[in-house]
A and B are shown apart, each in its own frame.
Chain A
Amino acid sequence: MEKIAILRMEGTNCEYESYLAFKRLDAQPEYVHLKELERKKKNLEEYDCVFIPGGFSAGDYVRGGAIFAARLKASIFKDLKKFVENGYPVVGICNGFQVLIELGMLPALYGISEQPEACLTTNDSNRFECRQTLIRHERSVCKLTKNIKVGKICSIPVAHAEGKLVFKDEEYAEEVNEKQVVFRYVDIEGKEAGYPWNPNGSYKNIAGICNNEGNVLGMMPHPERAFHKWQNGDGKEIFEGILNYIRSIC
């Protein structure tokens, strides 16, 4: 059974839905507090996947995800790096995506970077955008979404104030845009259309990206909030894709 480490610290708040999503698909999720890793009470080697849920880790002070990332970097960064390099999946949703960007694990165009090479910054609207969005699954190197048809439009909600993805320079952004974009915000016809379809002003309507190896995925929309059909969403497929990938490597 696939063992999923759902990381949490003070301020994460989407761990329960994420836990249930994996549980309902017969995986074995487990809450893992940052302090348990810092104190070596738990070890990443025990798990098949690291999942960083949404929320407001450490109050979102400094920047969204920055404190969570800095503490991970100061404690278990080597282990996490090894985990990724060994091909295991790491997924960050919303605040978790911010953490992965701040850690330099995304976009990681040329491998994990020492300093962040992108940033999820304040939405252009300067508002907390909390509503349904439509995202189109793009052709990319991502290994965790192979079960979702390219071009499929998924309905998944967002809830963030800092989700505008920007890159360190245009050339870098273009390269990421070519092969590492997993989801893009679109309108009801599947076309890229800017605000309000793109809730934050993200570069080229990017909603989610993966690393250059395709085993690290970060996205702003919350699939765990759109797991059931009655939630009018397609989040379940994302969890299924992660589990399919784990089965293919274990």
Chain B
Amino acid sequence: MLKARVEIKLKKGVADPEGKNIAKALNLLHFKEVKEVRVSKLVEIFIEEDDKERALKRLEEMCKKLLANPVINDYKIEIEDAHE
């Protein structure tokens, strides 16, 4: 069993209204050093598979078919052994 951490990020230059709102809130809470916040989504996927290369190929397919829209998203995949 493998565990993948797929991070779906907004591409550089794509507006991030949620991040902007969080930055504003943090500033209002007197964290004046906060200049920018970018929000991304982390999806943990547990896969019945032992071969990391094969798993990576399947995960990339998942990103292309559903998890990421190439117009606004970049994604990063990390795979590790899952400890049940």
Contacting residues, chain B, for A70 (C-beta < 8 A): 65-66
Pick the residue among B17, B18, B69 that contacts A116 (CB under 8 A). B69
Task: Verify if A167 is at the interface (C-beta below 8 Å from B).
Answer: yes
Task: Verify if B56 is at the interface (C-beta below 8 Å from A).
Answer: no
Are the C-beta atoms of B71 and A123 separated by less than 8 Å? no
Are the C-beta atoms of B14 and A168 separated by less than 8 Å? no
Q: List 25 A-B contacts (CB under 8 A).
A: A63-B69, A66-B66, A66-B69, A67-B66, A70-B65, A70-B66, A73-B65, A74-B65, A115-B64, A116-B69, A116-B70, A117-B71, A118-B71, A119-B71, A121-B15, A121-B72, A122-B17, A124-B15, A124-B17, A126-B18, A164-B15, A166-B14, A166-B72, A167-B71, A168-B71
Interface centre among A119, A121, A124 (most CB of B within 10 A): A121
Are the C-beta atoms of B67 and A125 separated by less than 8 Å? no
The count of residues in chain A whose C-beta lies closer than 8 Å to any C-beta of chain B is 24
The main secondary structure of chain A at its interface with chain B is mixed
Q: Which residue of A lies closest to B39 (CB)?
A: A122
Contacting residues, chain A, for B14 (C-beta < 8 A): 121, 166
- With A125-B17, A168-B71, A201-B15 already in contact, 5 other A-B pairs whose C-beta atoms are closer than 8 Å: A67-B66, A116-B71, A119-B69, A119-B72, A123-B17
Q: Which residue of A lies closest to B10 (CB)?
A: A121
Q: Which residue of A lies closest to B43 (CB)?
A: A62
Q: Which chain A residues numbered 89 to 119 have a C-beta less than 8 Å away from chain B?
A: 102, 115-119
Interface bits B14-44 vs A (CB < 8 Å: 1, else 0)? 1111101100000000000000000000000
